[in-house]
Structures are given as C-alpha cells and as structure tokens.
Chains A and B, each alone.
Chain A
Amino acid sequence: MHTLSRMTGWLVLTFAFALPVGAQQTPAQKDLAKDQQQRTVNQPGNNSEVWRDVRSGQPNNTTVPGRETGVLVQAQARFPGQENMTTAGEAWRKFRNGPVTFYGGWLVILMCAIIGAIYYTRGPIKLHDKPTGRVIDRFSLAERWAHWVMGISFCVLSVSGLIILFGKHVLLPVLGYTLFAWLTALGKNLHNFVAPLFIVSLLVFIVMYLKDNLPEKGDATWLANGWKFFYGVHLSSGRFNAGEKVWFWVGVVVLCLIVSVSGLILLFPNFDQLRSTMQQASVVHAIAAILVIGFAIGHIYMGTIGVEGAYGNMRDGVTDETWAKEHHDMWYDDVKSGGAGVTTAAKSGAAPQTLH
C-alpha cells in the first residue's frame, strides 16, 4: 500500500511538473490603457503600455469572430526544463518535440528491451505440475468482454497515437508523404472515434475489477519479492497478485483516466478551449499515454507469451486447477471452499469441468 501511494504521489508530481509556468501576473488592462494615455501626453510616439498589453496575451477587440482572435500573440510561458519564457506556442513546440518525443521514444524502446531481455534470459513461466484437466471459472463473460473491448480499443489508440507522435520520424521516410498522410488521417479518425468506446469500456472495467484489486494482506510481501517470480518462485496471492494490482491502479485507473480526461479536452475543440489549455492537455495526454504504453507492453507480454496459460484464461474464462493453485493459491483455496472473497463467476464454476 505504501509503495502504491508513493507511486501515485510521484505520478501526480510528474503531471504537476508537466504544466507550464504561466506569464507573470500582468496589471489589469484598464490600468495599462490609463498609463498609455498619460505616456502619449508625456512621450508621444512611445507605445510601451500598448505593447505590454499585447505581450500579456489578453484578448483585445477585433471584428473577426473565432477562437482567441482578439489575441495578437500568445502569452509568454515556459514548460519544465526551459530556461526562457517564449510564446506559449513556441514553448509547447519545444517541449513536445523535445523531451516528450525524446524520452518518450526511449521509454518505449527501453521497455521493449527489458521485456526482450527477460524473455531471452528467463523464458516463459511454465507450470511446475501437470495440468489436472479440471478447470474452474476465472472470468465471467461480462468480465472478458470488458477486458477485450478495452484492450483492443487501447491498442488501436496506442498505435494511432504513436503514429501521430513518432510517425513523422519513423514511418514517413519509409512510406513517403502521400501514403503516410493517408495512414495518419486514418489513424487520427480511428483515434477520435475509438476513444469514446475506450472510455466507456474503461469505466465498466474499473467497476467490475475493483473489488478483487483492493489491497489485501500479503501484497506488501509480494511487492518486495515479486521479482523472484521470474525465477519460478510463486508468492501467495489472491485472485490478483500485487503486481497485477499495481497495473490496475497505476496503469488502468490513474493513467488511463488521465489519458481519457486530457484526450476529451483535445477531442472537442468546439467548446472553445483556450490554446494554452489544449497545449497542456496535449502534453499531459502524450506523457500519460507513453507511460501507460510502457506498462501495457509489460502486461501484454505477461498475458501472452510470458506466462503459460494466462492468455487462455482471458480467452476462455476458465483456468486449470494447477494454474490456479500455483499462481493464485489464496484465490484457489477460496474457490474450493466456496468461502468469502469468491466472485460469483468463480463460485458457479467450482464444479469441475473439462477443457474443450
């Protein structure tokens, strides 16, 4: 639990940090107008108050309708790590094209490298005992639907999002302008239209899986010794182990909700959000997305080739008794005894079945 809250704390800090420092408080425009009147008398031709007003990024009068048309030039701002104030647009450009792209790209690569290294050195985690042939229910149909709708839409969003952020550097030289622009337009539309589906499935998923992801006794031990997992040591755990719980809380709940909210701000420009709002939403969206993609790479590895049997569990909803006993002993005991903490799905499946 401690580790969890500390991690959440760091995340919140990261995002607080990702927001740019706004321009210094500028004096009210009325005062500037008065000062300018005075200056025009004393120093005709000196318009410094007018220019200060313009630099503040506050809207002035214009007959042209539209978003922020009264703003001549964007206010000054500075994103983290930037020494000088520049116009917010320039600052956003430097931050997005700089650290977000650079470290974001490295993070994705690093994650792939770690996973690759684990796969090649440790290999997949196999069962120790023979499968019994008797299976018990692990995921209900509704739970599987929630998982797969979310998972597949997540992958569509990840790939299309990555194309928008990195495609120019990676795919454009290969595909050429015409094909790449077509692909990116497709990606953008997929991103825009799959997003609502993702958000709905995300909310349903969180509600459905919340109960079994609540912290319980033994999680701390698991977190401290979880790495031994790759050396074949299984620690005691309930329906979900502490590693899965971290993925649930940090990856799914915190990061995906941040991605969703920031994404919605970008998705509906018809609410006349300010450019500064969209710049901030965009970098928060990109950073959170990259982090959760990193997480997801790990999760997808464990769910497919990393752990023998895991993928089948989510596909068929049932698991072999041996798998249950070895990976989630406390849950297995609960199911067997029909005791507390057993999901309805698991209860109904207590009777032995045969795998098709």
Chain B
Amino acid sequence: MIRCSLLAASVLCIGGCMEVEQVSNAQKQAGQTVRRDTNPWSNEPLANGPKWSKGDRTSWEEQIKKRQLAQHEHRRIYE
C-alpha cells in the first residue's frame, strides 16, 4: 500500500516539475489525439475561391500573402 503510494507520489513529482513545451502540430503528431488537425493546405481549394495546389504548403502561403496585400490601404480590393 505504502509502497504503491510512494511510487505514485514519485511519478507525480517528476511530472509536476515541468511545463509542457508548446510546439506546433507539425512537430508533434503521432498518437496525440488532440494535436491532430488537418493543415489548411491539405484541403482542396474551393471551385470559385483562391487557388493553390492541394497539399503544397508553399503555394498556399504564397496565395495567402498575396491576398493579405488587400489589407494594404493602397490596394482597395483584392486583385
């Protein structure tokens, strides 16, 4: 009984000492249910929406950054 609680307690201590490091799901995925989420670029673009090639992060980011320039006051609407 005591031995068990001692064991449980030491496990408790080892864990209690740290704060889980915050990493993006790209780095930490396997077996961690909560961190499983599809990356936006893994989706098929909408038929009439912005275009990128599915699964290609770079092309998705390029179009996002281009789209973002619409927030620049010298370009009123997205071109």
Contacts and interface: CB of A to CB of B under 8 A. Distances in A.
Given A115-B2, A166-B15, A109 B9 contact: yes
B13 A109 contact: yes
Interface in B49-72: none
Contacts, number: 57
A105 to B, nearest CB: 3
Contacts of B12: 105, 108-109, 166, 169-170
Interface residues of B, number: 21
Interface string A252-270: 0000000000000000000
A166 B12 CA distance: 7
A193 B30 CA distance: 37
B2 A106 contact: no
Interface in A106-159: 106, 108-109, 112-113, 115-116, 119-120
A interface majority secondary structure: helix
Given A170-B11, A176-B33, A178-B33, A113 B6 contact: yes
A170 B19 contact: no
B17 A108 contact: no
Contacts of A173: 15
Interface in B11-63: 11-20, 32-34
A102 interface: yes
B16 A102 contact: yes
A168 interface: yes
A105 B17 contact: yes
20 contacts: A97-B19, A98-B19, A102-B16, A102-B17, A105-B12, A108-B9, A108-B12, A112-B2, A112-B9, A113-B6, A116-B2, A116-B3, A116-B5, A119-B2, A166-B15, A169-B12, A169-B14, A169-B18, A170-B11, A305-B1
9 cross-chain pairs, A with B, having the tightest CB-CB distances, nearest first: A169-B15, A105-B16, A109-B9, A112-B9, A177-B33, A170-B15, A109-B13, A116-B2, A177-B34
